């Protein structure tokens, strides 16, 4: 199937991927835009994984103060070079993440950052709930594993659905931005302040 230059440009505008990558994606998917986007995302994720080991010592600290000044966020996002930290895409990502933290109240960046004490407390509650429902012990362990996964999805920044686009997580958005900018990036830490808390 012949792929037109206008289709390649359209896919490039939609994804930010290179012209040759867009042409290959359309060729591989017989001109189907949805499949081509998935193809590019798959390839992009592979590129992101290769960048994951690179040092991230540049970046910025982004702030967000909610109107009314009763809620504020500081988030540190790192990348490899100062050049990328000054780009509009990087800064837009940082602002989006800060606003998301204000709205979604995560307790940690990733699962590994959640304290064992809090995890044990949650597991205790889940076990008590399951026993209250009269579930047998072999079922209880499977139930609490599922509930703990749900707790991580609700509480860990990288696993939360992005408030501006709930079809993707903050982790997906981070990987997309890494793919677009061509540098490793990490959300290192954040603090959320709410008046009276």
Cβ atoms 156, 190 nearer than 8 A = no
Same domain, 121 and 137: yes
CA distance 62 to 82: 15
pLDDT digits (tens, 9 = 90+) for 167-191: 999 999 999 999 898 888 999 999 9
CA distance 59 to 187: 10
Same domain, 175 and 84: yes
Burial category of 195 from C-beta neighbours within 10 Å (exposed 0-12, middle 13-18, buried 19 and up)? exposed
How confident is the prediction for the chain on average, in pLDDT?
87
Domain span at residue 121 reads 115-153
- Please give the pLDDT value at position 167: 93
Q: Where are the beta strands (DSSP E) in the chain?
A: 58-65, 71-79, 161-162, 165-169, 185-194
Average pLDDT over residues 143-163: 93
Same domain, 96 and 132: no
- Please give the pLDDT value at position 4: 86
Is residue 114's pLDDT more than 90?
Answer: yes
Same domain, 41 and 119: no
pLDDT digits (tens, 9 = 90+) for 23-64: 888 888 888 888 887 887 776 644 545 555 556 678 999 999
Average pLDDT over residues 85-107: 96
Same domain, 142 and 122: yes
pLDDT digits (tens, 9 = 90+) for 158-168: 999 999 999 99
Is residue 156's pLDDT more than 80?
Answer: yes
Same domain, 103 and 181: yes
Is residue 106's pLDDT more than 50?
Answer: yes
Same domain, 181 and 103: yes
Integer angstrom CA distances of residue 168 from 44, 163, 164, 174, 175: 15, 9, 9, 10, 11
How many domains does one find in the chain? 3
Q: Which residues pair with 156 in a beta bridge?
A: 108
Is residue 78's pLDDT more than 90?
Answer: yes
Same domain, 178 and 165: yes
Same domain, 46 and 10: yes
């Amino acid at each position: 199937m012949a792929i037109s230059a206008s289709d390649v440009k359209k896919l490039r505008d939609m994804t930010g991927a290179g012209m040759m990558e867009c042409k290959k994606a359309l060729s591989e998917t017989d001109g189907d835009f949805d499949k081509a986007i998935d193809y590019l995302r798959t390839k992009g994720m592979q590129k992101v994984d290769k960048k994951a080991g690179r040092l991230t010592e540049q970046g910025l600290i982004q702030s967000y103060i909610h109107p009314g000044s009763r809620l504020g966020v500081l988030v540190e996002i790192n990348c490899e070079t100062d050049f990328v930290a000054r780009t509009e895409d990087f800064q837009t990502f940082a602002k989006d993440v800060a606003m998301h933290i204000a709205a979604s109240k995560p307790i940690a960046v990733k699962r590994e950052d959640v304290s064992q004490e809090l995890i044990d407390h949650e597991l205790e509650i889940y076990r008590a709930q399951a026993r209250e429902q009269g579930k047998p012990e072999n079922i209880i362990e499977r139930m609490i594993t599922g509930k703990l996964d749900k707790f991580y999805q609700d509480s860990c920044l990288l696993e939360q659905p992005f408030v501006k686009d709930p079809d993707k997580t903050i982790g997906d958005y981070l990987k997309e931005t890494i793919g677009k900018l061509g540098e490793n990036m990490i959300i290192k830490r954040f603090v959320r302040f709410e008046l009276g808390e």
